[in-house]
A and B are shown apart, each in its own frame.
Chain A
Amino acid sequence: MDNISKQFKNGVLIFKVSTELYQKEAILMAAHKFIDRCYVDINPSSEKCVSVSLHPKDKNLTPDDIALEFCNELLDQQVRLNIEKSYGNIRDLIVKQAFQPVENIRNEIKI
């Protein structure tokens, strides 16, 4: 399948997102950003695909704009997850070192 496909049916935008490219967390985080403008429904569609339905609350919202924004958001969320991995435990160590400093931080770094 395509990494992402979309369809506009009965006022609802339906995306089929490949979980081979996008992690479940990225899909959830991207969809969550739309809860102010849309009713959101997420379901497993097949083994390697998740279906995300966005039902706009306001009829004036154009499906094209929502679709473009969702695709960008999905990509950004996946990029976030990817780079988060590269930090290892650095974020936790910054906070730990700020409030409860450890003697040799070098030994604590796990990347």
Chain B
Amino acid sequence: MNATKPYQLFPFEFMRLNNNKRLVVNEVGEHVFLAEEDFQKLINHTLDHRSSTFFDLKAKHILTDTAIAPVIDMLAIKYRTKKAFLYNFTSLHMVVPTLRCNSNCIYCQVSKKNPDAIGFDMDKRTVENTVKMIFSSPSPAIKIEFQGGEPLLNFRIVKYIVKYAEKLNKIHGKHLTFVICTNLTLVTHEILKFLKRHNISISTSLDGPCELHNKNRPLQSNELSYDRLISNIKLARGILGPGSVSALMTTTRYSLDQMKEIVDEYVRMGFQYIFIRSLNPYGGAKRESDTMSYNMDEFVKKYKDTLNYIIELNLRGTYLIESFSSLLLKRILTPFSTGFVDLQSPAGTGIEGAVYDYNGNVYVSDEGRMLAAMGDPKFLIGNVNSNSHKEIFAGSKLKDLIANSCIECLPICCHCAFRPYCGADPVRNYAEYGDILCYASLSQTCKKCKGILLYLFELLQSEDKNLNRIFWSWINRKPLQELPNCEAC
């Protein structure tokens, strides 16, 4: 301890809030709201040792009046826990059995091919090399996620991948799970029975009520997809069980005035999760941005209104989790690491998830594949038919990408109070402004995350007990009535 100072400060970041308070956040994401007067006392080393503010700051390892080394040890343990997503290396493996698709989504980001196109299906040699590559990952848990195109258009190969992976896993003994991302329009009893036998869960897309969903996601045959989707969700649940189907939505300009209706549709369809996702700047969404896009301030405003509505529904007894807020709240309120490839530091690209295209090309993320489909192969890191695991996943291309995605070392990000909850997405940065580095002032992702995080902190600052219980029910993935009656939740 420095003899001239009554206490030692530990690293923290801060930001001004609108109500003359400061948000103070330590290196591992523990936070305190301080009145301006207390903040000034904190940095000038004049805080009263007997005040509750002092004890609060000491408990959050923002200062100490005792030995320094044990506090460093404690913070190091917490830091290691927060970064636990780094331990296992790549666990999410997205496989594209075909690029053919029967959908004609207005924002299509993957440059899909027609359902009868030839030469866009994965062949058996590529399947075997892909699955072998996947099992070369040191991760004890392997999730294989079928992406598209529409994987059900090449279900023969999906089955082959599943069976081949299960065969290899008899040797490797990993925790192996499967997810199939499908528009569900082509699903049959036979397909669903296969999914059930192999414990494969379904992720589908539901953009909202009938008219909006059909506008955003028509089929290539000019048919409308909504009715078929809804009846097949029910069919799938009947065979696979009630929690077997999850859904994602994409917000277009047409969605912005119907956010409540979108939420109501999710409730009506019995979903317990909704992820209010903004448009990504790839493929059709980028080409047609004038007609379907919006600025991020507009999105954040709508997001906040929608979040309020979802909270209101929860207060009235409807259990529905908004997935993005839930993820951020877990980062704010718990010491645990959370998996979300798009928002990690260092970035999750390649080291948390990777994409295997129909032709064996390996990309650091699905968005990397989308850019390649638009003619820019910058994020192609190899091919399963011609490169080894070491060449692909320990090559200089991936190393450079990861080394440049630690927000702890980036200007503006390194001093942002939201840093412990945030992350980098070099592919998105590159798509937005042509550089993998995050320029926080220019990044739309930064604008979105900052806006949403700031709002969550405003809500947390209100110390509303009912609201806190809802947040804890989201973090714990349990309805309110199943939560214990404790002070924290």
Q: Is B191 on the interface with A (CB-CB < 8 A)? A: no
| Most B CB within 10 A of own CB, among A34, A84, A96, A111 | A111
**Interface residues of A, dominant DSSP:** helix
B411 lies within 8 A of A109 (CB): no
Number of contacting residues on B, CB 8 A? 27
A105 lies within 8 A of B411 (CB): no
Q: Is B77 on the interface with A (CB-CB < 8 A)? A: yes
Q: Is B69 on the interface with A (CB-CB < 8 A)? A: yes
Number of contacting residues on A, CB 8 A? 30
**Interface residues of B, dominant DSSP:** mixed
A86 lies within 8 A of B415 (CB): no
Residues of chain A in range 71-91 having any CB-CB distance to chain B below 8 Å? 72, 76-77, 79-80, 82-84, 86-87, 90-91
The minimal Cβ–Cβ distance linking A35 to chain B, given in whole angstroms, is 5
Q: A76-B16, A94-B27, A105-B69 are in contact. Are A29 and B76 (CB under 8 A)?
A: no
Residues of chain B in range 63-86 having any CB-CB distance to chain A below 8 Å? 68-69, 72-73, 75-77, 79-80, 83
A99 lies within 8 A of B11 (CB): no
Q: Is B9 on the interface with A (CB-CB < 8 A)? A: yes
Q: Is B2 on the interface with A (CB-CB < 8 A)? A: yes
* Residues of chain B lying within 8 A (CB to CB) of residue A29: 411-412, 415
A111 lies within 8 A of B10 (CB): no
Q: Give complex CA distance A94, B68 in Å.
A: 11
Q: A72-B16, A76-B16 are in contact. Are A98 and B9 (CB under 8 A)?
A: no
Q: Is A106 on the interface with B (CB-CB < 8 A)? A: yes
A94 lies within 8 A of B69 (CB): no
The count of A-to-B residue pairs whose CB atoms sit within 8 angstroms is 69
The minimal Cβ–Cβ distance linking B256 to chain A, given in whole angstroms, is 22
A90 lies within 8 A of B11 (CB): yes
Q: Give complex CA distance A52, B2 in Å.
A: 37
Q: A29-B415, A33-B441, A111-B2 are in contact. Are A82 and B73 (CB under 8 A)?
A: no
A105 lies within 8 A of B73 (CB): yes
Q: Is B488 on the interface with A (CB-CB < 8 A)? A: no
Q: Give complex CA distance A33, B442 in Å.
A: 9
Closest to B13 in A: A80
Q: Give complex CA distance A101, B72 in Å.
A: 11
Q: Is B439 on the interface with A (CB-CB < 8 A)? A: yes
The contact of A98 among B14, B68, B80, B415, by CB within 8 Å, is: B80
B412 lies within 8 A of A32 (CB): yes
0 or 1 for each of B409-423: is its CB under 8 Å from A? (1 = yes): 001100100000000
The contact of B412 among A33, A72, A93, by CB within 8 Å, is: A33
Q: Is A1 on the interface with B (CB-CB < 8 A)? A: no
Q: Is A20 on the interface with B (CB-CB < 8 A)? A: no
Q: Is A36 on the interface with B (CB-CB < 8 A)? A: yes
A105 lies within 8 A of B72 (CB): yes
Q: Is B169 on the interface with A (CB-CB < 8 A)? A: no
Q: Is A97 on the interface with B (CB-CB < 8 A)? A: yes
B43 lies within 8 A of A82 (CB): yes
Q: A35-B442, A109-B68 are in contact. Are A91 and B9 (CB under 8 A)?
A: no
A34 lies within 8 A of B441 (CB): yes
Q: Give complex CA distance A105, B73 in Å.
A: 8
Q: Give complex CA distance A96, B73 in Å.
A: 10
* Residues of chain B lying within 8 A (CB to CB) of residue A36: 441-442
Q: Give complex CA distance A110, B415 in Å.
A: 22
Q: Give complex CA distance A15, B73 in Å.
A: 44
Closest to A79 in B: B43
The contact of A111 among B8, B73, B441, by CB within 8 Å, is: B8
Q: A90-B72, A105-B69, A111-B2 are in contact. Are A32 and B441 (CB under 8 A)?
A: yes
* Residues of chain B lying within 8 A (CB to CB) of residue A84: 11
A91 lies within 8 A of B441 (CB): no
Residues of chain B in range 39-79 having any CB-CB distance to chain A below 8 Å? 43, 68-69, 72-73, 75-77, 79
B441 lies within 8 A of A94 (CB): no
B11 lies within 8 A of A87 (CB): yes
The minimal Cβ–Cβ distance linking A27 to chain B, given in whole angstroms, is 13
Closest to A35 in B: B441
Q: Give complex CA distance A33, B440 in Å.
A: 8
Q: Give complex CA distance A62, B158 in Å.
A: 58
Q: Give complex CA distance A97, B80 in Å.
A: 9
Q: A80-B415, A86-B9 are in contact. Are A95 and B43 (CB under 8 A)?
A: no
Chosen A-B contacts, 23 in total, with CB atoms closer than 8 Å, are A29-B412, A29-B415, A33-B412, A34-B441, A35-B441, A83-B43, A90-B10, A90-B11, A90-B72, A91-B11, A93-B76, A94-B27, A95-B76, A96-B76, A97-B75, A97-B76, A98-B79, A98-B80, A98-B83, A99-B80, A105-B69, A105-B73, A109-B68
* Inter-chain pairs besides A35-B441, A87-B10, A97-B73, 10 sampled, C-beta below 8 Å: A36-B441, A77-B415, A79-B43, A80-B13, A83-B43, A84-B11, A86-B8, A86-B9, A90-B72, A109-B72
7 nearest interchain CB pairs? A97-B76, A36-B441, A98-B80, A98-B79, A98-B76, A91-B11, A106-B69
